[in-house]
Every structure is written in C-alpha cells, then in structure tokens.
Structure 1
C-alpha cells in the first residue's frame, strides 16, 4: 500500500468521526509500537465531563520516518487537527533536524 493510499484510508476513517461539536477537542495520535515495528493511528475525542473516546484508525507496517512524514503531510493538508505522538522519544524527523517527541529528562 502506498503512502497516498494509506493517508486516504486514514482520512476516510477519520472524517466521519470528526463532528464539529461545541466544546469538543479532536486529535490524531500516532504511536510507535516498538514490539510490532509499526505506526498506529488513533482518533481521540475529548469533551469535558464525558468519557474520552479513542478510535483506532489504521496501522502502518513500516518504521521509516520518511514514510510517516509523508503520510502526516497528506493528512494535514485535508484534515486540520492536532497531531500528538507517543513512543518517539529521541527520534528526529528526516527532513528537519528536530525531535518528533522530546527525549525524557534524566532525574539526578
């Protein structure tokens, strides 16, 4: 599956979940699964006073950061949501020299 097809699949699954409701926050969460060597995509719906809903969208059997970057760029063009990351501590983007997720500070 190409990166364009993957992004289209994620968008097709995320758009029906994105309802422009009052006082609701929507996010896409990307999790790097070190054990299965894949990227997992989730849609998070948060409304104060209600249960936070997490819906799995898709998983990508790749660990190439360049592929992830291309998929996210295609998603961000069409769906303007906040993207949060988990499991990317200390890993940098390929195109720019910045961290995807800041490394944890060592105490002591």
Structure 2
C-alpha cells in the first residue's frame, strides 16, 4: 500500500515540476526538501534562480505522515526521475535509517 502512495506522490511532483523546468541558460534549478517540524510532513519546493536575479521557490507537494525510511525510499524513486540537486532543510543531526548517512551536513546561513 505504501508503494502505491509513493508512486502517486511521485506522479504529482513530476506533473508539477516538468512544466516549470525550462532548461534556460544561466539559470539554476533545484529541489528543496523541508522537514516541517510542527506537523509530521515533508514539503517539496522547486527553486529557480536566473543569473543575477532573485530566487523563486514554488511549492510542489507535501508528504504527510511519512517516516524517514519511507522518505529515503521515495527519494530513490524521485532521483530516478530527475537529475536535479536536492537541498535538505531542517534535517540537522538526522541520519538515513537504511544507510546511516547524515542527511544534512550543516544548517543554512539564512535560517
């Protein structure tokens, strides 16, 4: 059952992300994954930053009630679909359950 929910969530993210990814020159694209500390949710944002311009952050989707093991599996599926960098926010001092690797090395300066 969890695999079906993951594929639905992945489909939603890809349907929203694909039209936004224009592949323009001198433009940075990446995904931010934010650990929502007040509610048990993980929020995905698509970020666009043309050279010498402000960054735009567009909400893509939220995963509710997921634990880190399910999130780790979900990110494996997402990485197969896109080559974009994934930035982690709010995961300080946390490790992936399967690999025991640190999720986020350090806090961002603008937090």
TM-score, with length taken from structure 2? 0.87
Match for residue 21 of structure 2?
18
- The CA distance in 2 between the partners of 1:31 and 1:95, in whole Å, is 20
Q: Which runs of 5+ in 1 are unaligned?
A: none
RMSD: 1.4
Matches within 5 A, 1:68-83: 68-83=71-86
Number of paired residues?
A: 104
Matches within 5 A, 1:1-108: 2-102=5-105
- Deviation at residue 102 of structure 1 after TM alignment: 2.3
Moved more, 58-67 or 23-32: 58-67
**Which stretch of structure 1 is more off in the superposition, 19-28 or 61-70?**
61-70
Task: With the length of structure 1 as denominator, give the TM-score of the two structures.
Answer: 0.89
Unaligned runs of 5+ in 2: none
Q: Cα distance 1:103–1:50, how it changes in 2: closer, same or farther (>3 A)?
A: closer
Deviation at 1:79, TM superposition (A): 1.0
